[in-house]
Structure formats: structure tokens, C-alpha cells
Structure 1
Amino acid sequence: MEISAHGKLLLVLPFENRSSDANLDWIGEGAADVLNRRLESAGFLTISRGDRLYALDHLGLPLNFQPSHATTIRIAQNLDADSVVLGYYTVNNGRLTTTTQVLDVKALKLSTAITQDSDLKSLLTSFNGLAWQVARQLNPSFEIAQQTFLAADSTLRVDAFEKYIRGTIAEAPAERVSNLRDAVRISPTFSPAWVALGRAYFANQEYDNAAATFGRLSADDPNALEADFYRGLAFFYTANYLKAEDAFAFVRVRLPLPEVVNNQGVAASRRQRDGSALFQQASAADPKDEDYHFNLAVSLRRRNDIPGAIREIDQALKLRPNDSEAQTFATTLKDPASVKVNPDPGKAIPDDNLPLERIKRSYNETGFRQAAYELEQIQAMRMATMAPKQQAEALVKEGDQFLNRGLTLEAERRYQSALAADSNTALAHAGLAQVREHSGDTATARQEAQKSLSLSPNVPAYLLLARLDLAANQLPSAAGEVSQALHLEPANANARGMKQALEARGQQVP
């Protein structure tokens, strides 16, 4: 069973503009954005734009630098990338032509070039198709259908995408916000633009706007963790500590990285609640971070645990000896005349002279993505110990969860893996049928649904066939399929809704 792509790090560089029009430079960054999003959804571990820009800065290179192959290798090595996707494009008479190759960093070998030509208005479709071809080069056994990639940005308008990219790369804050606001106005369901707009507001210290913007994302959106981390900070900086604590807690439950755990503890402490357990968790996860030991020392001091506080502040100073605030706090803790002791052991004492716990202000995107990736690998290893039928059932359940969130590419990965574990899994075929329906391939959707029913009667397959027949005005066939679904699950809301729709058109459901 394989639901990930070998665990190798992949760096996608902006494509080089070989057109004569500098106003089209945004297309190169757009190509990198689409390929990054698609390949990450397909199970590859990609390197973020932020880390790429950090590497360029670390190497003393300008951010819009177009590297030679030698410099590309240096950048990849700096980021520990195993492969690099690079390319260039031209635009002539409204036609976009891209040429792309994959560089194997260790073997220093370039793949066969992939060339695509499309109408400029079909830019997103072209880049999504290119992402599928790159995935096939990186993993020849890659099974996700090309149409699933092509349909991934079906609701995103090209003009909104252009505004999003221009907003992402703009240097002037006002220009950045203006472009991103246009992007979400044109395509309000494109969540990466909402995240970018929220971050732009946050960078401008417009915290109320930032919190409201990040709040536009649903809890199951792929970008929800990043959004809620910054939303928590925005609430924190406006002294709304309860909402800040809730936002950090939302992220911590899903990915308990130390900076998130720490921030939940800091928000809790501002509400006069004990954050010691959270600070202990953060310092255990990253014992080399001085701030976590400092925060735990302050929290333990509030709990009247003087020995524990001294132990933690000493550890903090070992990690950062020149921290003047920690030095002063350590001196106070070790001076009996300065330490107020509550005669009731374990009870906190008010002390207005205590330093405040420290918040972590930066979102470590790479850390978050790697942690999510590692959790997926752990889940895959756990499933590998199951019997094939159990594996398939678990994978179908995951696929259904992704499908319900509109993440069809991720859903197809699970359904394909389920069939690899047990090819007779009816619900995996039913899931694939729904993925094909979403991507507009109705013929294959029908085939998958029929294959599913040949293995075992099930509601999702019957309802999919009913939807297809209803769309084709084949009302008697649709009525029969809805009847079969209701026979299996009389209370199924979707089946009952279709029954009402058919009866409203004069077709009785037996």
C-alpha cells in the first residue's frame, strides 16, 4: 500500500519568463504555486515558497533571481531537496508554451523535457496538467487520473489567480492588500488567497482585519491550521485571550507542534489560568528552545514551585546565557528576601513583578507540513499491519472524509490505495465514481458505480447513477436507482431529497 511519494523533498522553482513582456513575470510564480499545491495534494513533500525565499536570502541572492543549473543545485542542497522542478515559458499571440524538467539533485541528472502549449486563458488547466505529468515522472506508478488534476481549480478564475499571485509577490503593502482583496472578491472560495490576505493584514498590524479574514476559512480547509495559528496571534495582540486560546487549541489538537502548544499556554496564562502543563509539553517536544523553559519557569513560580522554577530558568540560561530578562528572574528566584511564598502549598500567589510568558510569533510552515506528512506516514504504517480488507475499509473512510471536504485529489489517493489493498472493495469504486463525477468524466463515473454495485449493493453508487440519469432526463432509471438506495437506507437524507426532486417532476419512485 502506497499513499505517499517516497518521502523525498521536492523544490519547485518559479518558471523563467522568456517572453519579451516583463508584465507576464507573474506567470512564473503562478506555475510554481499550482505545481506546489497539486503535488503536495498528491502526496509529495514540497518545499514552501517561504523556505525557498529564505534559501535565496541565505545565499545572498535576490528574490527574483533566475538561477543557473549550478546555482539551482546550491539552492536545492541548502534546502535538502532531493528533486527540483524547473522550467521556462513564452507567450505569443495569446498562446502559452511551457517547457519543464525535473532535476535529480543527487544524480545531477535532468529528466526528459515536458512541453505544453495552451491558450493563455487556459493557464490553470495547463499548469494542473503539467503537475500531473511531473508526478508521473517522479513516480511512474502514480495512479491518480489526469482529469482529477485538471478539475482541481475548476472554480478558480484566471483573473482571480493572477491577482492572487501579484498580491503574493508585491513588495508594497498597499499593493499586496489591494490585489489580494480583488482575488477573493472574484473567486471567494479560493482559500489560499484568503490566507495570503490575512497574512498581509497581519504584517500591517491590522489585527482585527486579519482575524476576520482568517476566520473565513472552514475548519476542514487544508489551510485552516495556518489560518488559525495567525488568527490566534491576531486575537492575542488585541487582548482577546479567550479567542486566542481557542484558536491555538484548534491547531494543537490536530498538530501539537511546540510553538502551538506554547502559545495556547501563553494565552491561558493571560487569562489567569495555569499553563504549566502546556509549557511542559512544549519544552519536552523541543528542549533546546530557551523560551519554553523560561515560560515554564514563570508558570511554576506562579504555582509557588520555587525549586521547579529555578531548575527551568537555569536551563533557559544554559541555552541563552545573555538573556537579561532571564538573568534578572533567576536572581530574584534565588534571593530568599525577594521570593514571596504562599503558606498553602501548590496555590498560586499574585505577583505583579513576574515577567510575562513569551509568545511564538512565527508560523513554521515547513514544520507544520512535515509534521502532517509524518503523521500520514505513521498512519500508513499502522494500516500496513491490518488485514487487506481492514486496510481498504480504513482507507475508504479517509477517502470519504476528503471527498466531503471537496478534496478530490486526496480522496482519490485513498480510494486507489484501498483498491490496491483489496480490489473487491465496493465502496472504493463508489468513491472513485464520485471523484470522476466531480471531474466531469461521467462515462467513467458510471462505469465505476456499476462496478461497485456488481461487487455489493450500496447507497453511494445507486445515488450517483441516479444523479447521472436525472441529469440526462432518464427519470424512470433514476427513480429505480433512488428506490434501491432507499431500500438499503430508508432514512438516507440524500436519497429522500432525490425522491422529492423526481416526484416534483412527475416521476413516482416505487
Structure 2
Amino acid sequence: MCTNSLLARTALSLFACGFAAGGAPAATVLVLQFHNSSPFTDLNWVGESIADTLRNELSAQNQIVFDRDSRAEAMRRLSLRPDAGFTKATLIRLGQTLDADYLCYGSYEASLAAGETQLKQSSLRVTAHFLDLRKMHDGPDVSETGQLSELSRLEEHLAWESLKYVDPAATLSVDFFLAPQKLIRMDAEESYIRGLMSTNPDQQQKWFAQAAALDPHFSSPAYELGRLALQRKEYRQALTWFQRIAHENPRYPEARFQMGLAAFEAGEYSTAAGYFREALKIYPLSEVYNDLGAAENELGLPAAIDEYRHALEGEPDDTIYLFNLGAALLKNGYFDEAVKRLQAAVDRAPEDAAAQSLLERARNRDAGPAGTKVAAPPRLKQSFDETAFRQLKAMVQPKQPE
């Protein structure tokens, strides 16, 4: 979830890793689900599809875009339904709840030709509106029209128009957004969005698998299928799905991180370390340093200590990082610092019996027999925070050339 403290923490982590921000800070953008103004409730998914494409494309161009969970939390705080129509005052309150710079919202209409009954043959008119919440004035209205079967093209063109507004310095041409590899089959997009909107894991699996089968070059379903497989502890299957995320995809580093988790849980620590290092080259986040340290620890590499130190530089009060560093220091015979780190972990989590036990061993200068592992296994971070992910990208990744 996006908060000011999270953004500040991410920036601190970034600078601790030796990076400096370049250029103006990226805007924070909240994109709402577009409202279905047509009489066809079976097309409700289109509104989330438009929002999802705008989020992904703006994020890919270094804007900081609030994710679906952040949006849902803001809605919950204000007791709002995502598919409702909102007054301007409500829209402003919603954007201010997340400290957004810009708010994008809109609606769409669908119509069928005389005698036509198949919704897939409907025509769409999509209208997007923007609010500049920093200056408190309306931005431009942008409209796109076309066939539902060309939804992906309409969304990508709208994304280009949106980027021109929130980042006038952007240099990408419309051809970049309308490149064939970006355009998704409508039925695959529908299946993917229905999976996103479902709260049932079995239904999610069905919809995402259907989307992946309908359009094999559409990588978003593969990512979600990998995530579901990881949750089910089907680590080989998770690796297979995540492997389909192409290097040029904005989610590639995150997929590599998830592959590291899957390989680690499968006991393939060297492979896991390789995936974490790949992610780390692009996004030096504390979570990645921690998990790389965990893999190196299982391999018996003293370098794990350095990775844990990097993690703590960005988040000095995190109990997982304190625990892991303390355990690694104990394992390598650095008893005094092990006591310091483990004591800090216990102070923040007095109920942590494993940390208590290791602290006692460190005080007794008991590293255990040579070559043995410390009893408590290292603790992993299971995910990136998406906002921190995008903030870091905005600060270190240059604009793509036209």
C-alpha cells in the first residue's frame, strides 16, 4: 500500500545502496475502475480492464501508480463501492486519502447494431477524466471509440494520452503503445480481468489459465498463475509460469524475485541466489537483499552477513532483518554484534521464542559445533511492496527513448 512513510523508506533504502535520484520526482497517480454506463452488466469487467492497462502502462513509464489493493483500501475507508458513480467532492476525498497527485477516472458506453445480440460485437465509447489534485483543477477529457474486439488498442491509445498529461516531458510515440506485441486478444483480456476480480482461488486459476491459453504472449496471466502456484507450494509449477515473463516486461524483476522464493522453498539455494541477484541488479530493495542473504546463508556463505546489513540499512527496525543478521553473526562467531542484533529483535518482538533462544546462545558465546547450522532457519520476505517497487524504478530508471 502506498503511504508517505513507505515512499520515504524506499528512498532511504535506495540512497543507502548508493544510488542518487535523477530528474524530477515522478507523479503519484490513482486510477479508478471506469464506470459502466451501458445497460450491459456483463461488460462490467471492461472498466477494470481499462484501469489495469492504464496502471501498468503509466507504471512502466516511471510514474508511481497506486495498485488495486491501495485503491480498495481507500474505498473501504470512505465506504465506497468501486463500481459506483462519484461526485467530484468524493473523487477529491478519495485521491487525498492516498495523497495522490493525479486522479484518473471515467466511464464507457456500449451499443449494438440493429439486430445484433452478441456483446462481443458491441461498439465502445470510453471517456477518461483527470483531476490535478495538487492544483485542484480539472485536466483534459479524453475519448476513445472503437469495437470491443479492439479494446486493447483503445486502452493503449488512452494510456498514451494519459502519459502525455501526467508527464508532458515523456517522449514515447503512439506507435510504441500500439506495437503488435502490446495488443492483447479481447477474450484473453476478459478472462484475465475476471480472474483479477475474483476472490476465489479456484476461479482465479481457471480464468488466468484460460487467458494464458488464449493469448500465449500475454504475460500477466502467467505471473498470476505463478503466484497462485507458489501459494499452493507447487514450486516447480511456479517456476515454469514465472519463466514466461519476458526480460522487457516491467514485471520481470519481480518475477525473478518470486522465482527465487520458489527455488529457495524447493531447496535449490544456489538457483535461488541467482534469481535474487538478477532482481537486485535492477531493484536494490531491502527485501531482495534479505532473501539473497537467506539463500547464501543456506549455502554456508559468509556473504550472507553483508546482504543482511544492506537490508537493515534501509529498514533498521525490521525484526526479520535483525533476526537473520543476528543468527548469521552467531553462526560465524561474531558474538558481541550477534547479541546486539538479537537483543534489538527481541525488544521489538518479545514473543519471538527463536530470537530469545539465539540471544541466549550468543550471550553464552555458543555458535554450536563447527559446520552445523544455527537451529532457526532464515526468514524470508515473501513479496515486494509494489509502491516501493515503482518508486525505486522512478528514481533510478531513465526514460525510455522514443
TM-score range, shorter chain: 0.7 to 0.9
Per the alignment, in what secondary structure is the counterpart of residue 25 of structure 1? helix
**Residue 139 of structure 2 is aligned to residue 120 of structure 1:** no
When the two structures are superposed, what TM-score results if normalisation uses the length of structure 2? 0.84
Query: C-alpha offsets along residues 413-458 of structure 1, whole Å, 9 cap, x if unaligned?
Result: xxxxxxxxxxxxxxxxxxxxxxxxxxxxxxxxxxxxxxxxxxxxxx
TM-aligned CA deviation for residue 220 of structure 1: 4.2
- For 2:359 and 2:229, the matched residues in 1 are separated by 38
> Which residue pairs with 2:311 in the alignment?
282
**Residue 341 of structure 2 is aligned to residue 340 of structure 1:** no
TM-aligned CA deviation for residue 211 of structure 1: 1.4
**Residue 383 of structure 2 is aligned to residue 357 of structure 1:** no
**Residue 357 of structure 2 is aligned to residue 367 of structure 1:** no
> Which residue pairs with 1:181 in the alignment?
209
Work out whether residues 304 and 349 of structure 1, in 8 Å CA contact, stay in contact via their aligned partners in 2: no
Work out whether residues 12 and 36 of structure 1, in 8 Å CA contact, stay in contact via their aligned partners in 2: yes
**Aligned CA-pair RMSD:** 2.6
Larger helix percent: 1
Work out whether residues 302 and 350 of structure 1, in 8 Å CA contact, stay in contact via their aligned partners in 2: no
TM-aligned CA deviation for residue 88 of structure 1: 0.8
> Which residue pairs with 1:221 in the alignment?
249
> Which residue pairs with 2:13 in the alignment?
none
> Which residue pairs with 2:26 in the alignment?
7
TM-aligned CA deviation for residue 253 of structure 1: 2.1
Aligned AA (1:287): P
Query: C-alpha offsets along residues 329-379 of structure 1, whole Å, 9 cap, x if unaligned?
Result: 323322x3xx4368xxxxx83456632221111221211121111113xx6
- For 1:139 and 1:370, the matched residues in 2 are separated by 15
TM-aligned CA deviation for residue 68 of structure 1: 4.4
- For 2:49 and 2:371, the matched residues in 1 are separated by 54
> Which residue pairs with 1:311 in the alignment?
340
Distance 1:74 1:323, change over 3 A: farther
TM-aligned CA deviation for residue 256 of structure 1: 1.4
Work out whether residues 277 and 292 of structure 2, in 8 Å CA contact, stay in contact via their aligned partners in 1: yes
Aligned AA (2:387): T
Query: C-alpha offsets along residues 234-272 of structure 1, whole Å, 9 cap, x if unaligned?
Result: 122222222222211111122111110100111122223
Query: Which shifted more, 242-251 or 257-266?
Result: 242-251
Aligned AA (2:337): G
Distance 1:154 1:245, change over 3 A: closer
Query: C-alpha offsets along residues 116-162 of structure 1, whole Å, 9 cap, x if unaligned?
Result: 32222221221222222223333456543333323365542111111
**Residue 231 of structure 2 is aligned to residue 212 of structure 1:** no
> Which residue pairs with 1:494 in the alignment?
none
Note the 1:99-178 alignment, pairs <5 A: 99-140=127-168, 142-151=170-179, 155-178=183-206
- For 2:23 and 2:153, the matched residues in 1 are separated by 24
Note the 1:82-481 alignment, pairs <5 A: 82-93=101-112, 94-140=122-168, 142-151=170-179, 155-274=183-302, 275-334=304-363, 336=364, 339-340=365-366, 349-351=370-372, 354-376=375-397, 410-412=400-402
> Unaligned 5+ residue runs, structure 2?
1-21, 113-121
TM-aligned CA deviation for residue 27 of structure 1: 0.3
When the two structures are superposed, what TM-score results if normalisation uses the length of structure 1? 0.67
Distance 1:321 1:46, change over 3 A: same
Per the alignment, in what secondary structure is the counterpart of residue 411 of structure 1? coil
Work out whether residues 29 and 165 of structure 1, in 8 Å CA contact, stay in contact via their aligned partners in 2: yes
- For 2:125 and 2:243, the matched residues in 1 are separated by 38
Distance 1:154 1:211, change over 3 A: closer
TM-aligned CA deviation for residue 327 of structure 1: 2.7
Per the alignment, in what secondary structure is the counterpart of residue 101 of structure 1? strand
- For 1:54 and 1:205, the matched residues in 2 are separated by 28
Per the alignment, in what secondary structure is the counterpart of residue 382 of structure 2? coil
Aligned AA (1:198): G
Percent pairwise identity: 29
TM-aligned CA deviation for residue 219 of structure 1: 3.6
Larger Rg: 1
Work out whether residues 64 and 387 of structure 2, in 8 Å CA contact, stay in contact via their aligned partners in 1: no
The total of aligned residue pairs comes to 371
- For 1:205 and 1:63, the matched residues in 2 are separated by 32
Per the alignment, in what secondary structure is the counterpart of residue 401 of structure 2? helix
Q: Which has the higher contact order (CA 8 A, sep 6+)?
A: 2
**Residue 105 of structure 2 is aligned to residue 79 of structure 1:** no
Work out whether residues 25 and 395 of structure 2, in 8 Å CA contact, stay in contact via their aligned partners in 1: no
Distance 1:140 1:411, change over 3 A: closer
> Unaligned 5+ residue runs, structure 1?
343-347, 381-409, 413-510
Work out whether residues 290 and 319 of structure 1, in 8 Å CA contact, stay in contact via their aligned partners in 2: yes
Work out whether residues 128 and 152 of structure 1, in 8 Å CA contact, stay in contact via their aligned partners in 2: no
